[in-house]
Amino acid sequence: MSSYKLVNFKTLGDERGSLIAIEQGYNAPFEIKRVYYIFDTKEGVKRGFHAHINLKQIAIAVKGACTFVLDDGKKREEVKLDNPNQGLFIEGLIWREMKDFSQDCVLVVLASEHYDERDYIRDYDKFIKEVENGKN
Ligand code: T46
């Protein structure tokens, strides 16, 4: 099963400022085994250019903004992340590219599995073949 969607997180704010909590089983629908963050991305840089076979992830621009290009093998869509109360949930065979990082962008990603290069498909033609093989 492959899909992606934007999810909204509740902001717990008071006079001191804002706080968002992400809890496994509540607003994160998978066991969180890994957290990584991408920051100091140089101007004009594009990242990603791969799909995952099994991984589930939630990506949050906790500061600044960036744009995800999401491709399910049939259609391409752009999703801009520019708000810490929004997360992009991605599961399964979705080709992703990231671009238009603002200088201050900090992109935090929660992942369902430990890092494993074998879960990556980094060749677009191979990704399309996997989709056509019905693994999507
Ligand atoms: C994804 C998008 C949104 C590790 O050693 N451990 C890790 O957990 C990760 C994520 C990466 N790495 C190494 C592998 C590469 O040598 O860090 C280097 C950069 O990784 P990569 O080129 O895959 O980074 P992005 O920004 O293209 O993609 C990353 C994630 O890899 C990927 O899962 O969905 O962010």
pLDDT, tens only, 86-107: 999 999 999 999 999 999 999 9
Strand partners, 77: 70
Per-domain residue ranges of the chain: 3-134
Fold type of domain 3-134: Jelly Rolls (2.60.120)
- ipTM of the complex in this document: 0.98
**DSSP β-bridge partners for residue 110:** 35, 58
Cα-Cα-Cα-Cα torsion 75, 45, 41, 94, nearest 10 degrees, comes to 20
Amino acid identity for residue 73 in this structure? G
CA of 27 to the centre of ligand 1 (A): 23
- Give the active site residue among 50, 63, 80, 99: 50
Quote the ligand 1 centre to 12 CA distance (angstroms). 30
Ligand 1 site residues (CB inside 6 A) read 34, 36, 38, 47-48, 57, 59, 96, 109, 115
Residue 92's nearest CA partner among 2, 32, 29 is 2
- Residue with CA closest to ligand 1 atom 28: 48
Q: Which helix (DSSP H) or strand (DSSP E) does residue 129 occupy?
A: helix 124-130
Which residues touch 23 (CB under 8 Å, ≥6 apart)?
Answer: none
50 in active site: yes
Other C-beta atoms closer than 10 Å to the C-beta of 19 total 10
110: which 2 tokens?
Answer: 């929660």
- State pLDDT tens for residues 19-56: 999 999 999 999 999 999 999 999 999 999 999 999 99
Over residues 59-87, the pLDDT tens digits come to 999 999 999 999 999 999 999 999 999 99
